Structure 1
Amino acid sequence: MTFEIAVVLGIIILAVILFVTERFSIDTVAILTMVLFMLTGILTPAEGFAGFSNAATITVASMFVISSAIFKSGALSSVGAALTRIGRKNYLLCLLSLMLISGGLSAFINDTAVVALLMPVMIQVSQDIKVSPSKLLIPLSFGALMGGVCTLIGTSTNILVSGIAEAQGVAPLEMFDFTPAGIWFLLVGVLYMFFIGRHLLPNRKLATDLTENFDLGEYLTELVLLPESPSVGVPLKDSGLVQHLDIEVMQVTRHKEKIQVFPSLILRANDVLKVRCGVEKLKKLKEEKGIKLKSERRFRDEDLRINDSKLFEAIITPNSYLEGKTLKELNFRAYNYGASVLAIRHRDEIVHEKPTHVKLSSGDVLLIAADPYQAQKLRQNEDILIISQTERSPYNYSKIIPVMAISVGVVAAAALDLVPIVLSALVGVVLLILTRCIRVEEAYKAIDWKVVFMLAGVLSMGAALQKTGAAKLLADFLIEWVGGYGPHALLSVFFFITFMTTNFMSNNATAALLAPIAIVTAEELGVNHRPFLMAVAYAASLSFMTPMGYQTNTMIYGPGNYRFSDYLKVGTPLNLILWLLASLIIPLFFPL
C-alpha cells in the first residue's frame, strides 16, 4: 500500500459515498473525481481529460443521436400500435410480447428511449384492459435492461467496458460478442416474469381518473369573490389569495364563462374561483373578508377542464434539466404558457401542499392542467415526458428509409469489422445530418450531456487504478480471498459484486471501477481477460433490485405507483437466477 494508492482509494471511496447518497448529480461527482485525481498529481491533465476523447464517450454520444433520429422518424410507431392490439386481447400475451419487443429494440436503441416510447402506450393499454399499470411497467423496464446486454451498442455500459479494455491494452469488445449469453439472459428473464415474477407484481388500485389517482378531490374548492374583497380589481398574481395564502387558482368563471387563468388576470366581483388548498388553508379562507365558499365537493377530471383544457401526467426524465430545481425556481407556469402543476407524485408520497416548492427528481410524476397548445409545447420539452395520453409519432416516409438504412449500416460496418464502432457511429451521425434526417440543433439536444460528462469523469477512475497499482492491490486481495476456489468461482464473485453494487450506484461508475480490477485479476491468474470483462459488463446493466439501479427503473417508479419493496420482491429472485446462470454460461461462451 503506497501513498498514491491510498490517495486513489480515498478519492474513490468518497466518490462511491457521493454516488450512493445522491447528494450531487452523477456527472458532477464524476467530474469532481477526475479533478481530484489531477489536483493530487495522480493523473496529469492529459490523462485526466483523456475520457472526453475516449472512443466510448464519442460512441455513446453518437448513439444518442442515432436513437433520436429513429424515434423522430416515426419508424417505431407501429410497435406501439401492435402492443395496443395485443394488450386488448390477452394480458399474458401482452406481457410476453412487451418484454420481447422492448428487449429486441433495446439491443440496438437506447433503452431509455425505448421505455419513453412504450410507457405511455402501456399505461393506455392498462386502462383499456382494466389492469393496473403496475402489472406492466416493471416488465417493460426489465425487458429493456435484459435486451440492452445483447449487443455492444445496447447500453452505454457495454461501450464503456470496451473502451476501458482498449485503454488498458486489451482487445476491445465486438458488436455481437454479447449476443449469445445476452439472449440467454433475456429468455430466462422473460420466462421468470411470465411464470413467477408476474405473481409478485403489485396490483395497485386502478384509478378511474387522474384527480382520484392523485388524491386531489379533497384539495379543490370553489369560492366567490364578493364586492368587498380586497382582491377585486387586483391582478391575480398580486392578490391576497396568492401573496398571503399561497393558493393556486386553477380556474376562473365569470358570468358562467370559464376564463383561462394567467398571472395578470384582473379579478372582478362575483368571480367564481376554483382553487387548490389544504384543510388549514380552507379554514383561513372561511375567515377571509369578501370570500364566500360556494362548494367543497369532491372534483373529477371534467371539473378542471377550461374550454379544451385537460389533465395530463408527465414524468421528469432521467438527467432532466429540471432535476434538483423547484417549479418556482423554474417559473414553470410562465415558461410553459400557463400550464399549471396541480400535484406531484414524489417517490412514495403525493405532494399537494406547495408543490412549487418541491425539489424535483428524475421519475417524479407531475399532474398538469393544460390546453392543447400548452400540451403540444410540453410534448416538445425533452425534460419531461407526457405519459397519460399517447400520441403516435407521425410516419415520415422521406426520413424512415434513410434513417433505417444508415442505422443498419452503422451496425453492419462495426459487426463486419470494416471500421471501429466509434467511426461507424460518427459517420452515421454525419450522414443523418447531411440527409436532413435530423437537424444539427436536434442532434445536440438528443445527446444526454450528463451521461457524456459522467463517462468522461468515471474513465479517470480506471486510469488512476491502473497507473498507481491500486487495481493490482485489489485484484491480489480478491485472489487471496477467493482464488483458492479457482477462476470460475472468482468470475462468479465478480458478477455478484458488480450487480449488487450497481443496484445502489451508477451502473457506469460501477463498471468503470471494477473493469480495470477484472483485467488485472485475469492477468494475475494467467487466464483470459474476456470472461471477466463480460461478467462486469453484463452484471452492471442487469439491475433489478432498486428503483435507482438503472434509469429505466427510475422512470417507471412514479407512473407505476411502485414502492421500493416492489423492486426488491420482484427483482431480487431475478438477479439471483441470472447470477447463477451467468456463473454457468459465461465460461462456456468465453472460455477461461
Structure 2
Amino acid sequence: MSIEDMALTPSTLVFIVLGLTLAAFIWGRFRYDLVALAALLGSVMLGLVPAESAFMGFGHPAVITVAAVLVLSRGFERSGVVDIIANQVLKVGENLFLQLLVLVGTVVMLSGVMNNVGALALLLPVAMRLAREHNTSPSLLLMPLAFGSLLGGLTTLIGTPPNIIISSYRGEVTGDTFSMFSFSPVGIVVALVGLAFIVLIGWRLTPKRSGQASTNDMFDTANYLVELKVGEESKANGLTLQQLRDELDETIPVLAVVRDDNRRAGYNFHGTLQEGDILLLEAGPDELQLLEDKVGLSAIAELEDDAETIETEQSDVASDPENNIERNAEGDAENDVGSDKKEDAKDEDAPKERKPVDTEGLQLIEAVVRNDSMMINRSVRQLRLNHQFGLHLVAVARDGGRLKQRLRDIRFKNGDILLLQGSENEISESLASLGCLPLAKRDLHLGQPRKLVLSIAIFALAIIAMLFDLLPAAVAMSTAALISLLIGVLPLREGYQAIDGPVIVLLAAMIPVGEALETSGGADLVANSLLYFGSDWPVVITMVGLFLLCMLLSNVVNNAAAALLMAPIAVSLANGFNVSIDPFLMVVAISASCAFLTPIGHQSNTLVLGPGGYRFGDYWKLGLPLSLVVLAVAIPMILLVWPL
C-alpha cells in the first residue's frame, strides 16, 4: 500500500516512527541499538529512507570518529596515562571537599580528551577506594563524579558523541565542520561553573546512604557462608563439582574444596569429591536442605549437634572483599575454615588444631554491570558463566540491597553489583568480555614509559592535524588509533573490544532516520510550530525552549539520539529567524549532554546507580539545579561566542 493510499504524508509517517522509537527507548524492554535498527528498517519499508542509503550511516564521519575516540581512550588506559593521574588522586586524604574537588575535577579534564564513560569507568574504582579508606559514603562521591564526566565532555569535539554529531551535521549543511576546540569557550566555562556548584553546594543534595551503598551490608554473608562435609554415604562422594551442580539443578557456587588441610578454589578443582572433603559455599536455609536431601552433604555445625546455628569465621570473605580476602589469602589459622570450633565430632576426645590451609587463588571481586553488557536480561545458565568465563556468581545486589532469590533465577540488569569468584589471572579479561566494570581494590599500574610517551605524542599529532585543517576529524582520529594499534600501545583484540558496538549501531541507524525527519519536512513543521508560538518573543526565548526540549529528550533517550533528532529542528529554527545556525547547533550540543535528571539518561548515571546505592528519584535532586545552572550559564556564553 502506498503512502498516498494511506492518506499519510511523509512527515506524519516520520513522526509515527519517531514516536514509537522514543516510546521503545523509554520502555527499555529492548536495547537501544535494536530499537534504532528497527526504526531504520521501518523507515526503509515505508519509503522514508531510500534502500540504497539505509546503511550509509555506518560509514558516516561521526560514527568513524566515535569509534576511533573509543580506541584511543582505551589506549590511554593501557599506556598508564590515567593510572598516573589516579595514583595522585588517592593521596588526597580524608577531607570531603578535597576528595570531591580532585575527583570531579580530574574526571572533567579526562572527559575532554577521551570518552566520558571511559573516564568515569577509570575513576569509579578510585572513588570507591577513597570512600572505603576514609570512611566516606560512596553516595556522596559517585553522583558528582558521573555528572562531572558529562560536564567534561562539553569542552572539546571528541569529549562526547553529541559534539561529534553536531560538527558533522554542520559540515553537511554549510560545508564546514566545527574544529577540535570550537566547543571549548562555552564548554569550559559551563564545566567550571558546574564543577564549582557540585563541589560547593550540589553534593549536599545527594542522599547519604552509607549503609545501603556499603559493600559490607550489600554482601553480608555471615548467615550464608557455610562448610559442608562429604560423608561416606553421601551421594556427592565420587562426583565432580559439575556433576554435583547437575544433580542439584542449581547454581550454588562452591567457593573452595578443602582436602588434607589444603584448599583449592572451586573454579580450579577438577577432580572428584572424596569422603572427608569440606566444601566452602554460600547457601541459605532452602539450599542447605536441598544439599542434604539430594546429595547428602551435611553442615559441619550439625555434627556438633548445633543445627540451628551455622557459624563460620570465614564470613568476612564476602563481607569485605577488599580487605578480608587478602587476610584469608595469607592462610591465617585463626580465621580459616578449619578452626577448632569446627573439629570433627569423631575427634572430640583428641582434638587437634587444623593447620593453615592454602587459599591461593581464592579471589572475590565486585563488579557493576554496564549498559552495554551481554549479561543484561540473561541468567547465569544462559551465560554459562562458569564454563565459558571461569567465574562463580556468589551474590547480587540491586538498588542498594542484596537480592535474596536463587542465583539461577536472577536476570541481570544494568547497574547490578555482582560478587564474583574467579582466577586471579583471568578475572579481568572475563569481566571485560562480559561488559562489567570491576569495583574492588584496583592495583594501579603505571604502564611502560615508552608507550606512555608514544600514546601522548600520537594524540597530540592528531590534534595538531585537526587544528590546522590538515585532516578531517574522522581521518585524524582513525589514523591515531591505527598507529596506536600498529606500534603496540593497545593490542588489536582490546582495540576491537574498546569499540562500543551498541553505540555505533545506534548512531549508524539513527543518522538516516534523522535525515528523513529533515527531508520529509518534519523538522520544518516542528520549527514552524515553535516559531508560531515564539514569534512575539525574542530569539533567546526560543533558544531556551530548544535547550529545555533537547535536555528533557536526552534524559529519556541516548544523548546521541537526542542530538541527531534535534539538529535538523535547530537548523530549521535558525533559518526561520534568518539568523546564524551556529548558536542553535551549540544549544543542541550542550543540552544533549545535560542528562542529569534520571539514571537512564546516560551510561555514566547508570554506572553509579548500584555502587552509590541510589534510587531512581535521587538524581533530579542534584540534577535539576545543576541543569538550571548549566542553562543559565550556557545561553549567555553561546550568544557571546556565537552571536546571532
TM over 0.5: yes
Residue 189 of structure 2 corresponds to residue 189 of structure 1: no
State the alpha-carbon separation in 2 of the partners of residues 59 and 194 from structure 1: 32
Residue 311 of structure 2 corresponds to residue 297 of structure 1: yes
SS of aligned partner of 1:390: coil
Counterpart residue number, 1:326 = 379
Counterpart residue number, 1:432 = 484
Shift of 1:170: 6.0
Counterpart residue number, 2:259 = 254
Pair 451,226 (structure 1): closer, same or farther in 2 beyond 3 Å: same
The residue type equivalent to 1:98 in the other structure is: L
Pair 170,513 (structure 1): closer, same or farther in 2 beyond 3 Å: farther
- Alpha carbons 1:224, 1:270 under 8 Å: kept: yes
Counterpart residue number, 1:214 = 219
- Alpha carbons 1:73, 1:396 under 8 Å: kept: yes
Unaligned runs of 5+ in 2: 1-6, 302-309, 318-323, 330-358
State the alpha-carbon separation in 2 of the partners of residues 98 and 457 from structure 1: 35
More off after superposition, 169-178 vs 476-485: 169-178
- Alpha carbons 2:375, 2:434 under 8 Å: kept: no
Pair 510,492 (structure 1): closer, same or farther in 2 beyond 3 Å: same
Shift of 1:92: 0.9
Shift of 1:13: 0.6
State the alpha-carbon separation in 2 of the partners of residues 140 and 66 from structure 1: 22
Shift of 1:9: 0.8
The residue type equivalent to 2:498 in the other structure is: A
State the alpha-carbon separation in 1 of the partners of residues 512 and 79 from structure 2: 37
Counterpart residue number, 2:453 = 401
Shift of 1:34: 1.2
SS of aligned partner of 2:226: strand
SS of aligned partner of 2:437: strand
Alignment of 1:97-136 (within 5 A): 97-136=102-141
Pair 78,166 (structure 1): closer, same or farther in 2 beyond 3 Å: same
Pair 278,516 (structure 1): closer, same or farther in 2 beyond 3 Å: same
Counterpart residue number, 1:576 = 628
SS of aligned partner of 2:364: strand
Residue 9 of structure 2 corresponds to residue 3 of structure 1: yes
Counterpart residue number, 2:611 = 559
State the alpha-carbon separation in 1 of the partners of residues 72 and 426 from structure 2: 28
Pair 297,474 (structure 1): closer, same or farther in 2 beyond 3 Å: same
1:64-120, CA deviations, whole angstroms, 9 ceiling, x for partnerless residues?
11112121111222101110011x253211211211211111111111111111111
State the alpha-carbon separation in 1 of the partners of residues 231 and 194 from structure 2: 63
Counterpart residue number, 1:478 = 530
More off after superposition, 305-314 vs 527-536: 305-314
More off after superposition, 204-213 vs 245-254: 204-213
- Alpha carbons 1:231, 1:241 under 8 Å: kept: no
State the alpha-carbon separation in 1 of the partners of residues 37 and 206 from structure 2: 38
- Alpha carbons 1:546, 1:568 under 8 Å: kept: yes
Unaligned runs of 5+ in 1: none
SS of aligned partner of 1:153: coil
Shift of 1:525: 1.4
The residue type equivalent to 1:310 in the other structure is: Q
State the alpha-carbon separation in 2 of the partners of residues 414 and 556 from structure 1: 34
1:295-318, CA deviations, whole angstroms, 9 ceiling, x for partnerless residues?
423621158863341321112233
Shift of 1:181: 1.4
SS of aligned partner of 1:324: coil
Pair 245,588 (structure 1): closer, same or farther in 2 beyond 3 Å: closer
Counterpart residue number, 1:158 = 163
- Alpha carbons 1:278, 1:353 under 8 Å: kept: no
The residue type equivalent to 2:65 in the other structure is: T
Pair 369,438 (structure 1): closer, same or farther in 2 beyond 3 Å: closer
Alignment of 1:351-366 (within 5 A): 351-366=403-418
Counterpart residue number, 2:31 = 25
State the alpha-carbon separation in 2 of the partners of residues 201 and 83 from structure 1: 22
More off after superposition, 235-244 vs 565-574: 235-244
- Alpha carbons 1:209, 1:300 under 8 Å: kept: no
- Alpha carbons 1:323, 1:362 under 8 Å: kept: yes
Shift of 1:242: 5.0
The residue type equivalent to 1:591 in the other structure is: P
SS of aligned partner of 1:320: coil
- Alpha carbons 1:31, 1:453 under 8 Å: kept: yes
State the alpha-carbon separation in 2 of the partners of residues 150 and 247 from structure 1: 48
Alignment of 1:460-475 (within 5 A): 460-475=512-527
Counterpart residue number, 2:53 = 47
Pair 29,168 (structure 1): closer, same or farther in 2 beyond 3 Å: farther
Shift of 1:454: 0.9
Counterpart residue number, 2:581 = 529
State the alpha-carbon separation in 2 of the partners of residues 457 and 537 from structure 1: 20
TM-score by length of 2: 0.86
**Paired residues, number:** 590
- Alpha carbons 2:213, 2:613 under 8 Å: kept: no
The residue type equivalent to 2:580 in the other structure is: N
- Alpha carbons 1:164, 1:462 under 8 Å: kept: no
Greater Rg by CA: 2
State the alpha-carbon separation in 1 of the partners of residues 506 and 138 from structure 2: 32
- Alpha carbons 2:139, 2:213 under 8 Å: kept: no
Aligned-pair identity in percent equals: 29
SS of aligned partner of 1:85: coil
State the alpha-carbon separation in 2 of the partners of residues 275 and 438 from structure 1: 38
SS of aligned partner of 1:372: coil
Counterpart residue number, 1:148 = 153
The residue type equivalent to 1:297 in the other structure is: E
- Alpha carbons 1:8, 1:465 under 8 Å: kept: yes
Counterpart residue number, 2:551 = 499
The residue type equivalent to 2:371 in the other structure is: P
Shift of 1:127: 1.3
State the alpha-carbon separation in 2 of the partners of residues 245 and 95 from structure 1: 44
- Alpha carbons 1:459, 1:512 under 8 Å: kept: yes
1:196-219, CA deviations, whole angstroms, 9 ceiling, x for partnerless residues?
112122222269984543233222
Counterpart residue number, 2:465 = 413
Residue 360 of structure 2 corresponds to residue 344 of structure 1: no
1:432-469, CA deviations, whole angstroms, 9 ceiling, x for partnerless residues?
23433334333222211221111111111221011110
Shift of 1:53: 1.8
The residue type equivalent to 2:570 in the other structure is: A
Counterpart residue number, 1:447 = 499
Matching residue within 198, 219, 242 for 1:237: 242
Counterpart residue number, 1:315 = 368
- Alpha carbons 1:328, 1:356 under 8 Å: kept: yes
Shift of 1:582: 2.5
TM-score by length of 1: 0.93
Residue 509 of structure 2 corresponds to residue 457 of structure 1: yes
